[in-house]
Structure 1
Amino acid sequence: MAARLAAAAPGRVQHLLDARPVLRALLAASFRPRWTADYLTLAPLSTAPTFAEELAAVAGRGDGRLRADLRETRPGPLADVLLADGLAGQAAELLDWVWRQTVQPQWPDRERRLRADIVGRTARLSSQGWAGVFADLNQKMRWLGDGRLQVNDYPSPPMRLDAAEQLVFVPAHCARGWVLWEKPTRFGMVYPASGILVDPPSVTAAGLGRLIGANRTTILTLLGTPMSTSQLATVTRLGVGTVGDHLKVLLDAGLVTKRRSGREVLYWRTAIGTALAGGTERTGTWGSTTFR
């Protein structure tokens, strides 16, 4: 983990860890393969917590409970520097530093992309139910019905969500997702969001680009998953009006269809549009959504 931070903030991470040995030890103890210490995976206290509130939740966990989280992650004795008072506060300070140095400068663009895609996932919930929601979150995660969710391929029993008062979906820039919980009422699913940081897709076929234009080809390629005009504008970096003009042409040609979902109108490819695009499917992303 320290190596990843160093790549994101070269020089500054090394200086911080050299000056604060407790933070170096904390990072080393917080992760092992396929496991992250619980203090880093707390389920949010509200549907839209501020970053300051989430930091306060980490600090409020207290030194004793935070050490218990570390011992569960890395069984065995803790480093001596982790036994001093104030550990939970220092953990919150580290998270605040990581946010300011590596995430916050890019956050406005990332957040816009995530929020723009909420509509698509919500539409899938309404049309396919919970099984459709969980289908592509994680290859190891399966909705078993009857309030049961299998969250990984460990031999542990499925998670029971019968008493859940809050289930929060959180997209993240990661290779695989994980589960958040404050049993028995608050749960969350962190999942790897696809495509939120990549550049707009290039033309998939030179011939198709010459036929309908590069921008319409890009839009048609993206519409393997239902998306709104605002989503398309965010991902392609075209104006909303320009995207609307291209969508009208594609609609008139029978290459895409549309349906209203709440305040948004979703567009996606027809069978003819998919055939013209060579069957290429692009998976959209979706923002942090809470279902109660």
Structure 2
Amino acid sequence: MLRVDADTVSRTRLAPSPASESLAWLRLAAASGRHPVFGDPGPLARASLGHPDVALLADLLPRNGDTYAPDLLTPQPGTDAPRRDLLDEQVARIEATTQEDLETQVLTYTRTHWSRPLRATTRRIAESGRMQRRLANGLARFWREALAEGWPELRSIIDQDIAQRATTIATHGVGRALGALHPDIEWAGDAVTLASSWDGDIDVTGRDLVLAPSVLGRRDVVIQVDTPGQFVLYYPAQRVGAGRDRGTGSIAQVVGHVRAALLADLGTARSTSELAARIGHSPSTVSHHLTALHRARLVTKVRAGRYVMYQRTAQATRLLEEARDHR
């Protein structure tokens, strides 16, 4: 049971959490799992795990039936940041985590909640004072390489959910909205009660209550109260996959629309500048995506005089053919 007061209720707000969605996608990629609607995280997500900071981030995610993940990895979404800055703000908050909070969550709480021990190398990084910066970099890198292009679709689902919840709040009040979030949640007037195996009371009076719809995460309710002053309640967004053909196999769902367009155009070797002109993006944008595709072994690159020429690999060709077969 989460004890609240009138101040907490008055400061209830709805917000997306790009960090939470990123970690859900990263967890799937690390476990070679599939999302029931969005499918395989894809070769770009898996290739990103080759970076040591992304791998460090993945090492702090639960596995083998455990559920606890340090709250510092998914900072409470801010209030006034423009949409494009939501992830940047959360990354900055990870980097600003105090050493005391980090050691409490990473060293103490994982020992309490995990069935596996923390790896010795991860422990040493946590104790060194360098973990905050590396985790922040790992999240930013994974977002850029594996999820940024797919964010508009996810954000659209989240925005629709938020709009509907906001209408409920405006029409019937916060209590009705809280009670309608999920069957496991009940609103008792001065407390939020959750149907779970955990039994106890947590006093969250005086904190903002942030309701964060989840698209890629678990389909149950997750609460986040370990970071001082923060209170986030994650719940499954409505209409995930509504109107979406789950059998399309579209390569754009796996690598993103810009990268899919690049692969489709790379049956013939082409330079960055030629690709930029053909698909209508700046050379720097095309270069960024080509770097990610090359890291995922979806394109090759060879130098020809003054130019670097890119061409898709056999693996990328298979992805394109599978996408066409499922149309």
In 2 relative to 1, CA 160–127 (structure 1 residues): closer, same or farther, beyond 3 Å? Answer: farther
How many Å apart are 1:11 and its aligned residue? 5.9
How many Å apart are 1:37 and its aligned residue? 1.6
Counterpart position of 2:222: 178
Q: Which runs of 4+ in 1 moved over 6 A?
A: none
Structure 1 counterpart of 2:119, from 59, 75, 79: 79
How many Å apart are 1:57 and its aligned residue? 0.5
Counterpart position of 1:34: 67
Query: In the alignment, does 2:200 pair up with 1:157?
Result: yes
In 2 relative to 1, CA 94–151 (structure 1 residues): closer, same or farther, beyond 3 Å? Answer: farther
Counterpart position of 2:88: 52
Counterpart position of 2:106: 70
In 2 relative to 1, CA 144–176 (structure 1 residues): closer, same or farther, beyond 3 Å? Answer: same
In 2 relative to 1, CA 162–88 (structure 1 residues): closer, same or farther, beyond 3 Å? Answer: closer
Is contact 1:179–1:189 with CA below 8 Å preserved after alignment? yes
How many Å apart are 1:91 and its aligned residue? 1.0
| CA distance in structure 1 between the partners assigned to 2:193 and 2:51 by the alignment | 42
Once the two structures are superposed, what CA deviation does each residue of 1:24-70 show, in whole Å capped at 9, x if it has no partner?
35423332533222212322343546211110101111455324312
Q: Which 5+ residue runs of structure 2 have no aligned equivalent?
A: 1-26, 35-39, 246-327
How many Å apart are 1:152 and its aligned residue? 4.6
Structure 2 counterpart of 1:118, from 162, 165, 169: 162
| CA distance in structure 2 between the partners assigned to 1:104 and 1:8 by the alignment | 13
| CA distance in structure 1 between the partners assigned to 2:51 and 2:156 by the alignment | 36
Letter matched to residue 177 of structure 2: V
| CA distance in structure 1 between the partners assigned to 2:70 and 2:32 by the alignment | 17
In 2 relative to 1, CA 152–161 (structure 1 residues): closer, same or farther, beyond 3 Å? Answer: same
Structure 2 counterpart of 1:24, from 39, 42, 55: 55
User: Following superposition of structure 1 onto structure 2, how do residues 144-223 of structure 1 map, counting pairs within 5 Å?
Assistant: 144-146=188-190, 148-164=191-207, 166-173=208-215, 174=217, 175-181=219-225, 185-199=229-243
Counterpart position of 2:31: 3
* Aligned residues: CA RMSD: 3.1
How many Å apart are 1:192 and its aligned residue? 0.7
| CA distance in structure 2 between the partners assigned to 1:19 and 1:200 by the alignment | 33
Once the two structures are superposed, what CA deviation does each residue of 1:152-201 show, in whole Å capped at 9, x if it has no partner?
5244324434323x222211112223123367754222111121443269
| CA distance in structure 1 between the partners assigned to 2:100 and 2:228 by the alignment | 21
In 2 relative to 1, CA 30–142 (structure 1 residues): closer, same or farther, beyond 3 Å? Answer: same
Counterpart position of 2:307: none
| CA distance in structure 2 between the partners assigned to 1:183 and 1:80 by the alignment | 24
TM-score normalised by the chain length of structure 1: 0.56
Q: Which 5+ residue runs of structure 1 have no aligned equivalent?
A: 202-292
Query: In the alignment, does 2:76 pair up with 1:43?
Result: yes
Identity fraction in percent: 20
Counterpart position of 2:283: none
Is contact 2:212–2:235 with CA below 8 Å preserved after alignment? yes
TM-score normalised by the chain length of structure 2: 0.51
- Range that drifts further, 70-79 or 97-106: 70-79
| CA distance in structure 1 between the partners assigned to 2:101 and 2:236 by the alignment | 28
